[in-house]
Amino acid sequence: MGNCPSGTADRDGDAVIVAGGLALPFRTGAKLFLHTLIVILGSLLLCDGCGRTSASSVNLLGSTSIQPFAEMLAERYAKDFPGQFVEVQGGGSTAGLQAAESGLANIGMCSRSLTAKESLLFTPILIARDGLAIVVNPKNPVTSLSIEQLRALFAGRIANWNEVGGQGGPVRPITREEGSGTRESFVRLVMGNERISRRSLTQESNGAVKELVKGDPAAIGYMSLGLVGPGLKAVAIEAAQPTVENVLAGRYHLVRPLLFVTKGAVNSATQKFIDFVLSPEGQSLLAKEGLVKIR
Amino acid sequence: MKRDKVIGAILLVVALSAISGLALITVFIFREGVPIILRVGAKQFFLSTDWEPSLGHFGILSMMVGSLFVTVGAAVIGVVFSFGLAIVLTQFSPPGLSAALKPVIELLAGIPSVVYGFVGVVTLVPLIRRWLGGPGLSVLAASIVLGVMILPTITSIAIDALQAVPRSYLEGSIALGATRWQTVTMVLLQAARSGLVAAVILGMGRAIGETMAVIMVAGNALDVPRSLLAPVRTLTSNIALEMGYASGDHRQALFATGVTLFVIITLLNVAALAVSRQRAGRRRTK
């Protein structure tokens, strides 16, 4: 920055010595670099070829809620069936559907029900179900809400906790961003035709919602059942605690499907991976992670 | 000679490709964004506060107001501290102190914005929630974080502006019997005014374009904020929050938000340029 003229000469001297020292390794380094480049380019070309033509690679893209589970399944799948590759990318439920439609991905991952229009286009495969937990701060004495109360809280019609049995104080609903699969499921399951209050705080990840609810006794948020951790209190909905047993028994109503979505006929590698996910082994892996098995 | 020409040509191509990149981005943003503004209607798009993409409502007024509030708040905080720093560093501090402080301030510019946001969420937001009330995520939190972030920008331009004031002005003022403080407020700040204004405008340009830190501390509610403690969504955070999932009209509306931001930032930069040109012009005529 020119504000230390006394140090400049020294530094230049250093630089020359360093450059001289580097000169020899650099020449062999250049060769190495060239070789590496060739190898990388070559493998890119090869990969490009195998990605399109060979049947042993499956691409998944979509919901960030399903992504970690799919990655885990893919890892186990690669171990069980050497030579089979499954690639998993995020991007969101909507992006997953787009990728399945354009053929960019063999399977789109979608963490909400398909709309009527979408279900004409795609074949949905239910891989698991996921409870939607309603979480509040542990300091909040409210332990149970009806769906009607929940709707009113998020719509902003109930603005004070004492109306639902809590201590007096403002209610601060926390929602996810437009387009999130979790948000769309919440809207469909809870909100009906009502809109989420415009005053509600919007956070772009489950982690951010968690942090906010942990720190704010007035907050209420929603997230995947498997993600509820210490520092959060999940409330009972319609007198049913959010547990896997209650979801299975049909007592807990806030449940969303986790879908693999395909379009048209699938190739054999894709079908093989889907079969693996639906197999008892795949299903028990998902159950271990807090999801609800389909059978 | 020939070699010079070749190198010149290569550099020209490099320079032009950088500029053409900018031009392409501009064309792309406008091509994607302008049609939806026309379809929705400019009045509806810019003057409605109703943003509900899934229902086809695209009104960005509350985000524009949000960006304005946060930017002005950041400018107020940034200006108070930056001008103070600039005055102290150029007039009052011993040379050793300024030599130590200046690099530190410049270092502030090198901290990634996500770190500012994180520090804001972890320390500032709970403090605001506890002592001032509200959700903590607020206009105030965003303004403070952005104010600190634009500090280096404003400070370094302000220092340049203050140092450009001819020494004879200050000596004349002191000779006339003014105190040092009077000299600073009545002569120095007046003489450097256009440079200081340019510094503020450029700082505001940075603040309005900042995204990551703002998303983390502003709360992103869609309502027009009614107090400093209310959550707020800015134009930038609206784009960043929803871009990942958007398609169709929604995607285009986000590009249109980008067009709005682009125009605002361009205007701010043009204003800063005009103000500093004016200064240069005036100096030349003297």
pLDDT for res A289? 82
Residues B226 and B215: beta-carbon distance below 8 Å: no
Is pLDDT above 70 for B74? yes
Q: What percent of chain B has pLDDT over 90?
A: 76
8 Å CB contact of B247 and A94: yes
8 Å CB contact of A179 and B99: no
Is pLDDT above 80 for B259? yes
Say how many C-beta atoms besides its own lie within 10 A of residue B232's C-beta.
Answer: 32
**Which residues are within 8 A (CB) of A152 and not within 5 positions of it... i.e. 6 or more apart?**
A158
Q: What is the mean pLDDT of residues A199-225?
A: 90
Is pLDDT above 70 for A44? no
8 Å CB contact of A204 and B121: no
8 Å CB contact of A216 and B106: no
Model pLDDT for residues A254-288, shown as the tens digit of each residue: 999 999 999 988 888 999 999 999 999 999 999 88
Is pLDDT above 70 for A92? yes
Q: What is the mean pLDDT of residues A95-107?
A: 89
Model pLDDT for residues B174-197, shown as the tens digit of each residue: 999 999 999 999 999 999 998 999
CB pairs below 8 Å between A and B: how many?
Answer: 78
Q: For chain A, what is the mean pLDDT?
A: 81
8 Å CB contact of B241 and A208: no
Nearest to A216 among B54, B136, B246 (CB): B136
Nearest to B245 among A95, A208, A219 (CB): A95
Is pLDDT above 80 for B280? no
- CB proximity B271 to A under 8 Å: no
Is pLDDT above 80 for A142? yes
Q: For chain B, what is the mean pLDDT?
A: 91
Is pLDDT above 80 for B244? no
Model pLDDT for residues A158-193, shown as the tens digit of each residue: 999 999 988 888 999 999 988 778 898 999 999 988
Encode chain B in three state secondary structure: CHHHHHHHHHHHHHHHHHHHHHHHHHHHHHHHHHHHHHHHCHHHHHHCCCEEHHHCEECCHHHHHHHHHHHHHHHHHHHHHHHHHHHHHHHHCCHHHHHHHHHHHHHHCCCCHHHHHHHHHHHHHHHHHHHCCCCCCCHHHHHHHHHHHHHHHHHHHHHHHHHCCCHHHHHHHHHCCCCHHHHHHHHHHHHCHHHHHHHHHHHHHHHHHCCHHHHHHHECCCCCCCCCCCCECCHHHHHHHHCCCCCHHHHHHHHHHHHHHHHHHHHHHHHHHHHHHHHHHHHHHC
Task: Give the chain B residue whose CA is nearest to the CA of A184.
Answer: B54
Q: What is the mean pLDDT of residues B125-139?
A: 92
8 Å CB contact of A93 and B245: yes
pLDDT for res A35? 56
pLDDT for res A182? 87
Q: Which helix (H) or strand (E) holds A83?
A: none
The Cα of A124 is separated from the nearest Cα of chain B by a number of Å equal to: 19
Give the largest CA-CA distance in chain B.
71
**Better pLDDT: A295 or B258:** B258
8 Å CB contact of A179 and B242: yes
Q: What is the mean pLDDT of residues A67-94?
A: 88
Suggest the residue from A111, A121, A178 to mutate for an interface test with chain B (most B CBs closer than 10 A).
A178
- CB proximity B132 to A under 8 Å: no
State which amino acid sits at residue B89.
Answer: L
8 Å CB contact of A211 and B121: yes
Is pLDDT above 70 for A8? no
Q: In which band, very low, low, confident or very high, does the pLDDT at A3 lie, cut at 50, 70 and 90?
A: very low
- CB proximity B155 to A under 8 Å: no
Predicted ipTM of the assembly: 0.80
Q: What percent of chain A has pLDDT over 90?
A: 44
Judge residue A190's burial from the number of C-beta atoms within 10 Å of its C-beta, 0-12 exposed, 13-18 middle, 19 or more buried. buried
Instruction: Please list every residue in chain A whose beta carbon sits closer than 8 Å to the beta carbon of residue B54.
Output: 178
Least confidently predicted of A63-72, B77-86, B211-220: A63-72
The Cα of A173 is separated from the nearest Cα of chain B by a number of Å equal to: 10
In chain A, where do the E strands start and end? 57-62, 85-89, 107-110, 123-136, 144-145, 172-176, 201-203, 219-224, 233-234, 236-237, 255-262
- CB proximity B56 to A under 8 Å: no
Q: What is the mean pLDDT of residues B2-11?
A: 91
Q: In which band, very low, low, confident or very high, does the pLDDT at A40 lie, cut at 50, 70 and 90?
A: low
Q: In which band, very low, low, confident or very high, does the pLDDT at A22 lie, cut at 50, 70 and 90?
A: very low
Q: What is the mean pLDDT of residues B226-234?
A: 93
Is pLDDT above 90 for A155? yes
The Cα of B244 is separated from the nearest Cα of chain A by a number of Å equal to: 6
Is pLDDT above 70 for A56? no
Least confidently predicted of A27-41, A165-179, A236-250, B238-252: A27-41
Least confidently predicted of A109-113, A137-141, B146-150, B205-209: A109-113
**Which residues are within 8 A (CB) of B236 and not within 5 positions of it... i.e. 6 or more apart?**
B67, B208, B209, B210, B211, B214, B261
Nearest to A198 among B99, B136, B223 (CB): B223
- CB proximity B54 to A under 8 Å: yes
pLDDT for res A31? 53
Is pLDDT above 50 for B32? yes
Map tokens 């209420």 to a residue: A220
